[in-house]
Structure formats: C-alpha cells, structure tokens
Amino acid sequence: MITRPLDLASHLMPPPRSWDPLFYVNVGLLALFFSFFGSRFILSPAVTLMALPGAATEEVPTTHFITVQASGQIYADPGVLSLDQLSKWLKDESRKKDHPSLLVRANKDVTLTGLSDIIDRAREAGFSVVIAAEQPAPK
C-alpha cells in the first residue's frame, strides 16, 4: 500500500533556525495597536453621545472619565462598576488629586435620572463634573 504517493514532505521548506526579523516587526505593531486602542482618548464603540447645542463651546481637561451605557453599565479604569462601587471608586480617586474632575461619557439613551444620580455621587466625592456631548448636526 502506498502511504505517501506525492512525497509532499520533501517539497516543504525546512523550519527556520532563528527568529525572523519580521516577527519583531509584527510584535512591535501589535504592541502599538493595543496601546493606541487602549487609550482613554478613543471613544468606545457603540457609545453615541448626546447632542446638545453649544456642546463644543467649553473644553475642560479632566483627570478621570467614565462611560455610562443605557443598560446601566458604568465603565471606569477598574472595569465595569455598579453605582455603589462607583461611589467608593470616586471617593478613593478624589483623595489622589487636588482638584479632581470627571468626564461622563453617557450614551444618548441614558435616562436623566440615572445621569443625575451619577453626577450627584461624583460631586459628593469632591469631583467637578463635565458631561461629554456632541454638537447637533445642522438640519
């Protein structure tokens, strides 16, 4: 019985003896990619900000940021937080800075009640609060 009729193993290239320089280029590009897309300056996908007139009039640097989804999920540096965990995190973080400020990136479907609760908790912790919004599109 013939088990290797085409003798393909003899036509294969031998395995490399050392690391290829292209490997290091790929690793470098991957590290750059993940560091760039892990940045806090890039909005999370599926976050559609509220549209408010005059939204681009005041630009204020902030020390902390959170992202609030309509489902009630709150994303911060430690990960997904509940409202009680958010309060504790805000109190801990406010002790680390002299004038802490919080950027709240809320999805356009977040209720006003939920947003005001988060703002109240942030102010109780000593933060000044900035709400992210975009300028409405001209009609």
Domain residue spans in the chain? Answer: 66-134
In this prediction, residue 69 carries a pLDDT of: 87
In this prediction, residue 22 carries a pLDDT of: 82
- Classify 91 as helix, strand or coil: helix
In this prediction, residue 136 carries a pLDDT of: 64
In this prediction, residue 44 carries a pLDDT of: 53
CA angle 125, 68, 102 (to 5 degrees): 35
Digit-by-digit pLDDT tens for the chain (139 residues) are 455 777 777 778 877 667 678 888 888 988 888 777 665 555 555 556 666 565 555 666 788 989 988 888 899 888 888 899 999 999 999 999 888 999 998 888 888 888 899 999 999 999 988 888 666 667 6
Answer yes or no: are the C-beta atoms of 128 and 100 closer than 8 Å. yes
Residue 118 tokens, joined: 């988060």
Residue 4 tokens, joined: 């290797």
Q: Where are the alpha helices (DSSP H) in 8-132?
A: 21-37, 83-94, 112-124
Answer yes or no: are the C-beta atoms of 49 and 108 closer than 8 Å. yes
In this prediction, residue 33 carries a pLDDT of: 80
In this prediction, residue 53 carries a pLDDT of: 63
In this prediction, residue 85 carries a pLDDT of: 92
